[in-house]
């Protein structure tokens, strides 16, 4: 009994010790989560620091804690454009905020519409008599567009300005596919539906070139007009015309060349910029790091200035990213997830619904599922308004046909009314290695589509008919929504992409305006008084794990010190080039993954390139890249 008692006491002791350890771990984790959340108490008198160390997006993507921790890579920071605008507008009238410190040392960019919206918010802040001080090492199109709205633009002495302008070269794989004897069976409707041209041609078709010139020309004019309005003395022609002569005039000093062109005001290190901010906003009494200044972080500021929930609600559902059939997102538009959000809101007393679209489209079935979910709200008799962001093309326009009124910006990219599908087959490729396909079939569609043995004529006919019937369906939806005949829609369809200004002229858009304008219109249609309603974003919620995960993964050496950490002009160009492998991988996946007929604008300008697993893998290991390509 004595021995058994000792064993029992030992087991009880082990159990108690384990319980204590787990309790300690639990409370430690709980403390970490709570401390990682933004606290309104962290708001201090001084500057509002907008340290944009990532990308500006329509909808922030959630972080998968397990995957991220296993990868040991710090996720790219994303900022919702509406959060930045809300933060700036709230700071405009708050006496605690003396200035905005706009640090874009590691800014990766965003869409043109978002940049202009944030720039306009900065103008409103300055109109209140408060300065905006911007800093970066290497300015490019997006960061320069924001900096143009600043009171003072600082550039690091080791940096400069490089204006790229919209456009660039696409990759064409027809020659490669011919050498590999891969057959890319393309099914499409639309003279201008150039999304599939990389698999068919070795260069751009005349129709696609015409469309691109018109689209990019309009975007380029809008960018220049916005910068010139904010900085009338800016000489953009010097920077984009004779680049070599412009640099030589400043003896090769890119920072001084930027100042000479009126695109920057002062050259200085981040420490010197911080000291200048401290002169305006005050010194940081708790931080003696060189260049420190009194400030409030963005997350704490947003937590302190929560939006009003007074009055009835106008629902806002966001369709951002590629449209798919599943539950993907936020940050991508999974039709099952978005449809679920809309159906859950049917029981709510929403007075109107605003659909915010920032999507190049995706699957036809996913687009139609979202449209039908919107129509279920329309059946309740409430106003339905669409607000277009950077891109609302193809499937993004498909879902917009459910609206009573469509708002867009002149810089919005829309249209691309067309359908396509791609099915690759490898019968000729495998035959070179002695691999053939054989079997018993009962009909001409048995085993189709057969990527090993090839497509039968009947299978090709079925797939082409699917695309054509989908296009006719698309024309009918647009015609019914816009009061046009299918023939009239076809004349402005055919896959052609339009800028927002031209889209309004051809009748695809009702009026110019941002999300706030769309909300105000919806409120007026619902007969709600000004200020007596609030916007309710369906499915919106803070990712509670993101700050904690970033804190865990961020090494001590990654914290920004006194000097710039964004890299010089070489780093800027290298970052652009790093996106090439990701683009190749995406193009190949687009051909190899058969996901049904697509209402997708692949020719629309891509979002800013972000460092990612695919791109890093492709760049670091060509063999792994090819292996994954084949396995996918």
pLDDT digits over 365-392, tens only? 999 999 999 999 999 999 999 999 999 9
Catalytic residue among 92, 130, 183, 193: 193
* pLDDT class of 537 with cuts at 50, 70, 90: very high
- List of residues 6+ apart from 143 with CB closer than 8 A: 104, 107, 109, 136
In this prediction, residue 308 carries a pLDDT of 81
Nearest of 372, 330, 377, 326 to residue 351 by alpha carbon: 377
Using pLDDT thresholds of 50, 70 and 90, give the confidence band for residue 27: low
Task: Say whether 173 sits in a helix, a strand or coil.
Answer: coil
* Homologous superfamily of 313-537: 2-enoyl-CoA Hydratase; Chain A, domain 1 (3.90.226.10)
What is the C-alpha separation between 479 and 507, in angstroms, rounded?
10
Confidence of residue 74 (pLDDT cuts 50, 70, 90): low
Separation between Cα atoms, residue 237 and residue 427, nearest integer Å:
53
For the beta carbon of residue 440, count every other beta carbon within 10 angstroms: 6
- Nearest CA among 407, 595, 421 for reference residue 512: 407
The whole-model pTM stands at: 0.84
Strands 333-334 and 384-393: unpaired
At a CB cut-off of 8 Å and minimum separation 6, what does 10 contact?
A: none
- Under DSSP, the state recorded for 498 is E
> Per-residue pLDDT for 628 more than 60?
no
Residues 6+ apart with CB under 8 A from 469: none
Note the pLDDT tens digit of each residue in 100-133. Answer: 999 999 999 999 999 999 999 999 999 999 999 9
Of 543 and 158, which is predicted with more confidence? 158
- CB neighbourhood size of 414 (10 A): 28
Whether residue 270 contacts residue 563, with contact meaning beta carbons closer than 8 Å, is answered with yes
Q: Average pLDDT over the chain, rounded to whole?
A: 85
Tell me, yes or no, if 193 is annotated catalytic: yes
Q: Crossing angle for the helix pair 81-92 and 112-127, nearest 10 degrees? A: 10
Asked whether the predicted pLDDT for residue 601 surpasses 90, the reply is no
CATH class, range 44-169+217-302+541-632: alpha beta
Give the per-residue pLDDT at 547: 58
**Sign of the torsion angle spanned by Cα atoms 337, 339, 343, 349:** positive
Whether residue 20 contacts residue 74, with contact meaning beta carbons closer than 8 Å, is answered with: no
pLDDT in tens, 355-366: 999 999 999 999
Among 218, 367, 394, 400, which one carries the catalytic annotation? 394
What are the CA-CA distances from residue 148 to residues 120, 166, 223, 271, 472 (Å)?
11, 18, 11, 21, 45
Give the per-residue pLDDT at 199.
Answer: 85
Whether residue 98 lies in the annotated active site: no
The pLDDT confidence band at residue 451, using thresholds 50, 70 and 90, is confident
Instruction: Give the single-character DSSP code of 558.
Output: G
């Amino acid at each position: 009994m004595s021995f058994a008692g000792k064993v029992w006491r030992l087991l009880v002791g082990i159990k108690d010790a384990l319980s204590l350890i787990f309790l300690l771990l639990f409370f430690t984790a709980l403390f970490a989560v709570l401390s990682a959340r933004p606290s309104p108490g962290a708001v201090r008198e001084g500057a509002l620091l907008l340290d944009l160390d990532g990308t500006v997006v329509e909808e922030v993507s959630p972080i998968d804690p397990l995957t991220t921790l296993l990868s040991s890579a710090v996720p790219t920071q994303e900022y919702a454009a509406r959060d930045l605008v809300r933060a700036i507008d709230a700071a405009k009238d708050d006496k605690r905020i003396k200035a905005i410190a706009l640090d874009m040392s590691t800014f990766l960019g965003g869409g043109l519409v978002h940049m202009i919206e944030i720039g306009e918010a900065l103008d409103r802040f300055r109109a209140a008599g408060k300065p905006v001080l911007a800093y970066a090492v290497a300015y490019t199109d997006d960061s320069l567009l924001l900096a143009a709205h600043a009171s003072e633009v600082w550039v690091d002495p080791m940096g400069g300005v490089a204006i790229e302008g919209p456009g660039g070269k696409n990759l064409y794989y027809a020659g490669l596919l011919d050498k590999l004897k891969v057959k890319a069976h393309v099914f499409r409707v639309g003279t201008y539906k150039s999304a599939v041209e990389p698999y068919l041609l070795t260069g751009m078709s005349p129709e696609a070139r015409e469309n691109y010139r018109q689209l990019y020309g309009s975007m380029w004019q809008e960018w220049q007009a916005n910068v010139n309005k904010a900085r009338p003395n800016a000489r953009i022609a010097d920077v984009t015309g004779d680049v070599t002569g412009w640099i030589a005039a400043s003896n090769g000093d890119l920072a001084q060349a930027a100042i000479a062109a009126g695109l920057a005001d002062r050259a200085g290190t981040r420490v010197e910029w911080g000291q200048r901010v401290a002169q305006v906003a005050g010194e940081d009494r708790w931080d003696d790091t060189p260049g420190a200044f009194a400030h409030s972080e963005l997350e704490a500021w947003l937590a302190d200035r929560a939006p009003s929930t007074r009055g009835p609600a106008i629902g806002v559902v966001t369709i951002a990213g590629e449209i798919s059939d599943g539950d993907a997102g936020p940050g991508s538009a999974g039709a099952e997830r978005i449809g679920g959000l809309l159906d859950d809101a049917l029981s709510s007393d929403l007075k109107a619904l605003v659909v915010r679209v920032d999507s190049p489209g995706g699957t036809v079935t996913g687009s139609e599922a979202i449209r039908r979910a919107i129509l279920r709200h329309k059946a309740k008799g409430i106003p339905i308004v669409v607000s277009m962001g950077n891109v609302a093309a193809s499937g993004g326009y498909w879902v917009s046909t459910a609206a009573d009124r469509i708002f867009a910006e002149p810089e919005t990219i829309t249209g691309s009314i067309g359908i396509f599908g791609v099915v690759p087959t490898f019968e000729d490729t495998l035959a070179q290695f002695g691999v053939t396909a054989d079997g018993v079939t009962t009909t001409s569609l048995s085993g189709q589509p057969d990527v090993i043995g090839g497509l039968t004529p009947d299978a090709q006919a079925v797939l082409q008919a699917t695309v054509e019937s989908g296009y006719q369906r698309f024309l009918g939806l647009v015609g019914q929504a816009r009061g046009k005949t299918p023939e009239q829609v076809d004349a402005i369809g055919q896959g052609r992409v339009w800028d927002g200004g031209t889209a309004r002229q051809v009748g695809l858009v009702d009026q110019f305006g941002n999300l706030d304008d769309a909300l105000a219109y919806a409120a007026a249609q619902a007969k709600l008084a000004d200020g007596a309603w609030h916007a309710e974003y369906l499915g919106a919620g803070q990712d509670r794990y993101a700050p904690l995960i970033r804190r865990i993964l961020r090494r001590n050496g990654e914290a920004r010190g006194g000097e710039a950490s964004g890299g010089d002009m070489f780093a800027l160009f290298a970052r652009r080039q790093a996106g090439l492998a990701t683009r190749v991988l995406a193009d190949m996946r687009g051909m190899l993954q058969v996901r049904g007929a697509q209402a997708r604008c692949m020719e629309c300008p891509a979002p800013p390139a972000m460092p990612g697993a695919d791109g890093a893998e492709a760049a670091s290991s060509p063999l792994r890249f090819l292996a994954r390509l084949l396995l996918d």
